[in-house]
């Protein structure tokens, strides 16, 4: 991490927090509904509109709502929101610059970082450097950018 500017190190820490929280929430959801998260498509019984399981409440004031290829988690107390991709295997920490920017903007504990970066362009510049240095990896297809923490590089 010595080649990174201080702002890039801060953004990398945010990505690690996002990844950790996304996986934590998916595991809570899995435990709540006794899902086998090792399966290729573990959310089948939750994403159908034939029952009322596609949205609901979880412990610790979290609500979930499946939509398309994502599950939106929202905390009733803090208003923190994570939009987690569910169709890329076990890669639940996928993000784009816009979703990470939104995560920083609405997370109370990250307000000081939001004030430092100020614009999405600064965040995008940091993400480009982190990708170039292989701290994050683009696993997107067909021109769709889908970034994820490189856990091997980050020892996470």
pLDDT tens per residue across all 156 residues of the chain? 568 999 999 999 999 999 999 999 999 999 999 999 998 889 988 988 778 899 999 999 999 999 988 999 999 999 999 999 998 888 899 999 989 999 999 999 999 999 999 889 999 999 999 999 999 999 987 778 899 999 998 874
Question: Which alpha helices (DSSP H) does the chain contain, by range?
Answer: 6-32, 44-47, 97-106, 111-117, 120-132, 151-154
Structure tokens at 59: 């412990």
Structure tokens at 20: 């950790």
């Amino acid at each position: 991490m010595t080649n990174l500017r201080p702002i890039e190190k801060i953004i990398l820490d945010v990505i690690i927090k996002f990844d950790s929280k996304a996986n934590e929430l998916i595991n809570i959801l899995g435990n709540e509904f006794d899902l086998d998260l090792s399966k290729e498509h573990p959310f089948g019984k939750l994403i159908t509109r034939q029952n009322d399981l596609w949205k609901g409440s979880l412990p610790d004031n979290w609500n979930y709502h499946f939509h398309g290829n994502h599950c939106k988690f929202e905390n009733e107390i803090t208003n923190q929101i994570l939009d987690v991709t569910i169709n890329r295997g076990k890669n639940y920490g996928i993000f784009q610059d816009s979703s990470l920017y939104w995560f920083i903007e609405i997370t109370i504990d990250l307000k000081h970082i939001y004030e430092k970066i100020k614009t999405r362009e600064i965040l995008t510049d940091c993400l480009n450097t982190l990708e170039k240095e292989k701290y994050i990896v683009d696993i997107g297809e067909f021109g769709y950018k889908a970034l994820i923490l490189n856990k091997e590089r980050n020892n996470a």
